[in-house]
Structure formats: C-alpha cells, structure tokens
Amino acid sequence: MIDFEFTPEQKEAVEAAHKIAEELFRPISRYYDEHEHESPQELIDKLWEKRREGSLFGGLDITAALRAEEVCWGDAGLYLCVPSPGLGGAAIFATGTKEQLQRFLGNYNEGGPKWGAMAMTETGCGSDTSAISTTAVRDGDEWVLNGEKIFVTCGKRAMENPEGVVVVWATVDKSAGRAGMKSFVVQAGTPGARVEKMEKKLGIKANDTVTIVFDNCRIPYENILGSPEVRKIDKTETAGFKKAMATFDATRPIVAAMALGVGRAALDFVKETLEKEGIKIHYGLPRQKLTALERDVMDMEANYKAAKLLTLRSLWMMSQLLPNNLEASMAKAKAGLAVTKITQKAVELMGPLGYSRKYLLEKWMRDAKINDIFEGTGQINMLVVARRVLDYSRDQLK
C-alpha cells in the first residue's frame, strides 16, 4: 500500500514554514511587489538566523519541497530572497568534486547571508543550450570567460555577496556543439564579471533577475565542474551535458513545489471567499448536478492535487537514488500549467474582487506564470517527457 502520511519531522517543518509565510511574508508581500529592486534586508536577516539555527530552508528532498510550497503560499518572490546556494549550489552538488563542494559550499552556514546563482540563458540562447556562445578558453592555470548572460535569478545578490557564487555555462569548443558545453564557478568579486542591469518583471518582483557580463573574466582552472574533456557518449548525448542537466532533475521538483504554493494560495482565497458568502461546494454529486462554479473549483483542486502527487513522486525517486528525469519533468510541466490555470480561473471567478489590487489574488496570477517558464519551459519539459515515454532521441523529436 502507498503511504502518503508525512513523518512527524515533515509535519513540524510544514508548520514552521507556514508560520513564517503567514507572519513574515504575507504582511510585506504587497509592499515588495510595488517596490521592485528594494531588498527586504530585515526579512533576509531573520531568515538567515533561522537557517543557521536549524537549516530551516534548503535541500532538495521531500521536506524541502514541502517547505517551499508553504513559504510560496506566503510569497514566491520573497521565497527567492531566502539566502540559499540556489540553482548554482545544486549544480555544484550534482557535478562538483568533493573538494569543490567543500571549497564553495563547505562553510555555507557560517558568517552572513549567502546566495548562489546559475547563468545559462543568453540573448540568442534560451531553451536550446547547444546555442550557448559564452566562451571559456584555457590560459595556463586559468580559464578566461567571455560572454553575456541574461535572466540570472538571484544574480545580483550572488555577485555582490563576498562568498557568493555563480555557475556559468560556457563552451570550450563551439564546433563540438553540446559536447563542448561546460559549467564553471565564478566567485563574487572576480575581476571581469559584472552585473549589467536588473530586469523589471511581471511577477516575483522582490527577487532580483539580472544580466551579467563576463569580459576576460579569469577564474582558476580548478573552477570547472566536471572534466574539461570534450567527449561524446553517442550521437545525441554528451558526458558534460548529461551531468549539467542532472542539476534540473533535482531542482525542477522544487520549482514545482513553489508553483503549488502559489496555486494553493489562490485556491484557498477562492474557497474562503465563497464560504464567507455562504456558498457551499457539494462534493460527491454527479458532475451534471454541479453548478459551473462548483465544477471550476473542483477542477482547480484536481489540478493542484495531480501536480502535487507528481512532485512528491519525483522527489521520492530522487531520495531512493532512482533516475527521475522523466518524473521531474512531468512534475515541473504539470505544476507550471496547473498554477497558471488555477490563478487565472481564481481571478475570473472573483471578478472585480480578483482583479483589484486590494487583494493579493491578481499578484498570485502574475507570480504564477514564471513557474511555467524558468528552469525549463513547459514546452521543453513536455518534450523531455515525450522523448522518455516514446524512447526518442533529441534529433528524432524536437
């Protein structure tokens, strides 16, 4: 029998995270939505102390996902302000050596708040990572990076923090395509690396998203993640690429959990508003006997629950050291689609109430869409799912 009961430790983690979301995030949610690029320093300091006390945030397991959902129920943008190794840290965990783990992340909980980021997207390269044009050229005991990366989540905080790190995807051999693509760790303060601009966004405005320029940026030779050798495994896969993409198998379920938090916030708002108006949802009746409103709410709940089950499954598989590439992409694709539908339907059902800035519902609709875009768009994840289910290669199904 499948057991969906959470452990006492997980229940405690959820309760603690929900308390933070309710007491620390919700009260300032609107303020930082309207004051984009203003750093919530007081909140950051409080969260850093909580992390140091008991590692309240962080990790890539089921408990971490449950926390992420609860905190994003409070505010997804502020969740991204939580001091964390981020996607850059996940890449180091997935592909780094023991020495690199110790060097870049070993003293993470010491000192002041720290962030990590990953720089992948370029103006001419989004989902097609083989089109990356940022270069890494070896020069003796160093690598020299040149290029520009856009839409780097937490890039400003990672670049400005004395112990921050940014994992940069670059090519060591453009003619080799994906086989020439490698990951490099650029530490904050490295000459030749600078934040060029901060994006103004539709949602998650509390979080910084930046462009980073690498202009003859020199880093130690040892800062490459994985082997510098350009080697193909077969016609469609490369050793370096497969290792780099393993990062997303670990982090996509966490992004799915973030989406679940935003979706549940909208769903809770709708149900609480209906209850205040004396409108009941009659569960158990045949669909044809339900009102249109009841069907809509039930569809929202079904989408939320389906996405959550997929998310928990992908995380459980990872915890058992089982390959979860298919399941991670399914969870990410479903959660991104579900939260978009749930929040849009919630605004529609609430009418002027949902559209008003008096409430956070319209904000959740704006925050929701990013979950269908970053860390692999919904379309890309659906492609991954199709390839795995049909056993097609990248060349056979694009």
291-310 CB burial, b ≥16 within 10 A, e <16: eeebebbeebbebbeebbeb
Structure tokens that stand for 228 in this block: 């510098």
pLDDT at 180 over 80: yes
As a whole number of angstroms, the distance between CA 188 and CA 165 comes to 6
CB 135 within 8 A of CB 145: yes
Q: Compute the average pLDDT of residues 294-300.
A: 97
Residues noted as catalytic:
375
Identify the pLDDT of residue 239. 56
Identify the pLDDT of residue 58. 61
- The DSSP call for residue 8 is H
As a whole number of angstroms, the distance between CA 314 and CA 327 comes to 5
Identify the pLDDT of residue 293. 95
Q: Residue 80 contacts by C-beta under 8 Å, 6 or more apart in sequence?
A: 153, 154, 204, 206, 207
Q: Residue 8 contacts by C-beta under 8 Å, 6 or more apart in sequence?
A: none
Burial of 274 (0-12, 13-18, 19+ CB in 10 A): middle
pLDDT at 128 over 90: no
Identify the pLDDT of residue 355. 94
Identify the pLDDT of residue 57. 60
As a whole number of angstroms, the distance between CA 312 and CA 327 comes to 10
- The DSSP call for residue 111 is S
Identify the pLDDT of residue 342. 98
For residue 166, CA distances in Å to 44, 94, 147, 300 come to 20, 15, 14, 37
Burial of 394 (0-12, 13-18, 19+ CB in 10 A): middle
How confident is residue 272, by pLDDT bands cut at 50, 70 and 90? very high
Identify the pLDDT of residue 177. 80
pLDDT tens-digit series, residues 92-123: 988 888 899 888 887 777 777 788 999 999 99
The percent of residues above 90 in pLDDT, for the chain, comes to 67
- Report the DSSP pairing between strands 142-153 and 165-171: unpaired
As a whole number of angstroms, the distance between CA 233 and CA 218 comes to 30
- In the chain, the N- to C-terminal Cα span, in Å, equals 39
As a whole number of angstroms, the distance between CA 213 and CA 256 comes to 30
Structure tokens that stand for 212 in this block: 């980073």
Identify the pLDDT of residue 113. 79
Identify the pLDDT of residue 335. 97
Q: Compute the average pLDDT of residues 76-81.
A: 94
When computed from its CA atoms, the radius of gyration of the chain, rounded to whole angstroms, is 21
Structure tokens that stand for 40 in this block: 């919530």
pLDDT at 235 over 50: no
Which of 75-79, 244-248, 278-282, 359-363 is the least confident region? 244-248
Backbone angles phi, psi at 245, to 5 degrees: -70, -20
Q: Compute the average pLDDT of residues 378-398.
A: 89
Q: Compute the average pLDDT of residues 55-75.
A: 85
The secondary element (H helix, E strand) that includes residue 214 is: strand 209-220
pLDDT at 321 over 90: no
Which of 15-24, 173-182, 262-271, 361-370 is the least confident region? 173-182
Identify the pLDDT of residue 244. 62
Helix spans in the chain (H): 8-20, 26-34, 41-54, 62-74, 76-79, 86-95, 98-105, 155-160, 239-276, 292-319, 325-350, 352-355, 361-368, 378-390
Domains by residue range for the chain, with CATH: 8-83 (1.10.540.10), 88-225 (2.40.110.10), 239-390 (1.20.140.10)
pLDDT at 1 over 80: no
pLDDT at 43 over 70: yes
pLDDT tens-digit series, residues 141-172: 999 999 999 999 999 999 998 889 999 999 99
Q: Compute the average pLDDT of residues 299-325.
A: 93
Q: Compute the average pLDDT of residues 334-343.
A: 97
pTM above threshold 0.85:
yes
